[in-house]
Structure formats: structure tokens, C-alpha cells
Amino acid sequence: MAEAERIIGTPDIPEAAGAGPEGAPAAGTPDTEPAAPRGGRRMAVLFTVAALAYLLDLVSKLIVVAKLEHHAPIRILGDWLQLEAIRNAGAAFGFGQAFTVIFTVIAAAVIVVIARLARRLYSLPWAIALGLLLGGALGNLTDRIFRSPGLFKGAVVDFVAPKGFAVFNLADSAIVCGGILIVLLSFRGLDPDGTVHRD
């Protein structure tokens, strides 16, 4: 019973698929699907979500820089929500503007960690969460590399300005949504490899 709880959600393995004593499939048992393609599908979801988040952030920033920068803010919901182009040298929501290079390194490290974690990813919710984190990190990292004032010191373009709250962008939103989803998955005991901890 303990073994059954330990492997909940994990890819099929020969012993659980009716393998014979030598590791070969038992007579009359169809060949099981290899684990790699299942993980490959989760990786495809991760990178698709990341690509969508990144492209939405990139296109929105291009439009904001071309149409909104150096212009008056556009009111969406009166004073409660408006679009206002600003340049942010700090972290998400404008924090730590004196540490631009450090945040650039952190963003790059996050991308590397997610890429390494993707190789053992068998959970669809985790694939979505990590895809949001990856797309958001890539979006803001692109600004820090290519925008002024210079390489790895670029200011991020922010434009969503709720009343009484920091101005942010779609990359920030993707990062926050991905982080919230990861917290929820952790509370449920679901690991990236698909295992479920019942404690």
C-alpha cells in the first residue's frame, strides 16, 4: 500500500506494467508507453506556455514604447486603472532599482533552473506554472539585455498602473501567476515529477 501511494502520478515502470522476471513484458501484456514521450509532452506544454507569455509581453512592450511612451496615460477604468509607460530599473513592481545587474543575474539563473527541471517534468500543472515563470523571466531579461542604459543594465518597460499599486507589465503578471500556482501545487503535495505526498 505504501508503494502505491509513493508512485501516484509517476510514469509507468516495467514492474508496474506487468513485466516478467527478466524485465520483459509478461505474456499477453501489450508494450507500455515509454516514459520519455510522456515527459516530452509536458515539456512541450511548458515551452508553449513560456513562448505565449514571452510573445504577449514582447508585443505589448513594443506597442507601449511606440504609442504610449512620452504621452499622457490612457484611462481604462477612470482613476482605478490606466496605462502609463515607465522605465523600471529594479525588480518586479519597481523594487530594488539600485540592483539592476543582480536582478539580471537572478533572472538568468531562474531560466537555467527551469530548463534543467524540465527534463524530469511529468506534471501538467507544474508545466504550466514553470512555463509562466520562464516566459515572464525571459520577457524582463530581454529588456535588461537590450534596452537602455546598457547591456545587463536595461530598464524594464512597465505600463499597467492600478490605483494605489505599483506599475507592472505582462511578464510580472506571468511570474506572479506562476508563483501562486506553484504554491498551490506545493500545498497539495504535487511534485514536478508527478509524485503526490500525502503527508
What is the Cα 93 distance to its own chain's centre? Answer: 17
Catalytic status, residue 158 = yes
Rounded CA-CA distance 143/108 in Å is: 12
State the catalytic residue, choosing from 31, 57, 143, 172: 172
Distances (CA, A) of 32 to 11, 14, 63, 82, 152: 10, 8, 49, 54, 48
CB 52 within 8 A of CB 59: no
Give 129's contacts (C-beta < 8 A, 6+ positions apart). Answer: 178, 179, 181, 182, 185
State the catalytic residue, choosing from 12, 31, 57, 158: 158
Which grid coordinates are listed for 49?
Answer: 506556455
Catalytic status, residue 31 = no
Long-range contacts (CB closer than 8 Å, 24 or more residues apart) made by 15-21: none
Q: Which residues are catalytic?
A: 158, 172
